[in-house]
């Protein structure tokens, strides 16, 4: 039987959840025995080359590119998991929610105390750049999400237990200490 395939992505996140996945230490060798990785920053595969069983997504959606990647994951993954606070509730990027986008951009590029020389008052507007959304969205407000792993980041043991439970079909019994929102 072929191994289950995992894909991962970081949207509006800090890559901390991916770091936490690497925090499983030597168990990463066991993980490689258990699963195969497809599209993921971990192996640097940029596009889906086959249908995946599990998609782990960190970060919420703050721009059109995030939404596109998320929808691509939903299309290509049988099970989609929101990993971490940003994916579940927007996280720190969502602190801009409620502030008009123009105000945020003005602060970042024109009026902010740390803005250096910008006499021409240039706002990044290259057509290659994704458009910023009106607010940062949790993943499940855009596509159907099957499971949630909270934490900032989710503890390495939680990620490990969850992935192993999924690929081996064992029931997941999470100890109290493992589920935290920070």
Partner 1 sequence: MSDTIKFTIDGKECTGKKGQLLVDVAAENGVYIPVLCHWKGVKPAGSCRICTVKVNNRYVTACTLPIDENCGDIENNTPELQDIRKAIVEMLFVEGNHFCPACEKSGDCDLQGLGYKYQMMVPRFPYAFERRELDAKSPKIFLEKNRCIFCKRCIRMIKDEKGRSYFAFKGRGKTLEISMDEKLAANISDELAQEAMDICPVGAILKKEVGFVNPIGKRKYDNEPIGSDIEKSQQ
Chain residues that interact with partner 1, rule: CB under 8 A? 82, 85, 88-92, 94-95, 97-99, 135, 138, 140-141, 145, 147-150, 152, 174, 176-177, 179-182
- 3-state SS, the chain, equals CCCCEEEEEECECCCHHHHHHHCCCCHHHHHHHHCEECCECCCCECCCCCCEEEEEEECEEEEHHHHHHHHHHHHHEEEEEEECHHHHHCCHHHHHCCCCHHHHHHHHHHHCCCCCCCCCCCCCCCCCCCCEEEEEECHHHCCCCCEEECCCCCCHHHHHHHHHHHHHCCCCCCCHHHCCCC
CB 79 within 8 A of CB 147: yes
Tokens of 174: 């999470």
Closest separation in Å from C-beta 58 to partner 1: 13
Instruction: Between 110 and 172, name the residue whose CB sits nearer to partner 1.
Output: 172
Instruction: Between 129 and 174, name the residue whose CB sits nearer to partner 1.
Output: 174
Instruction: Between 98 and 169, name the residue whose CB sits nearer to partner 1.
Output: 98
Closest separation in Å from C-beta 93 to partner 1: 10
Closest separation in Å from C-beta 92 to partner 1: 6
Closest separation in Å from C-beta 134 to partner 1: 10
Tokens of 26: 């030597």
Instruction: Between 9 and 94, name the residue whose CB sits nearer to partner 1.
Output: 94
Closest separation in Å from C-beta 66 to partner 1: 16
Instruction: Between 44 and 182, name the residue whose CB sits nearer to partner 1.
Output: 182
């Amino acid at each position: 039987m072929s191994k289950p395939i995992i894909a991962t992505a970081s949207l509006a996140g800090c890559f901390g959840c991916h770091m936490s996945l690497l925090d499983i230490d030597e168990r990463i060798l066991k993980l490689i025995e258990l699963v195969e990785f497809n599209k993921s920053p971990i192996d640097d595969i940029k596009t889906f080359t086959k249908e995946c069983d599990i998609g782990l997504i960190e970060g919420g959606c703050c721009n059109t590119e995030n939404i596109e990647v998320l929808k691509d994951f939903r299309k290509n993954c049988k099970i989609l998991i929101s990993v971490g606070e940003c994916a579940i509730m927007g996280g720190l990027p969502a602190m801009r929610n409620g502030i008009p986008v123009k105000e945020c951009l003005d602060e970042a590029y024109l009026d902010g105390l740390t803005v250096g020389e910008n006499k021409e008052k240039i706002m990044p507007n290259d057509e290659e750049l994704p458009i910023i959304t009106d607010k940062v969205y949790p993943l499940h407000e855009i596509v159907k999400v099957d499971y949630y792993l909270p934490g900032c980041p989710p503890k390495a043991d939680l990620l490990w237990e969850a992935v192993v439970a999924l690929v081996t079909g064992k029931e997941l019994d999470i100890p109290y200490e493992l589920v935290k929102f920070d």
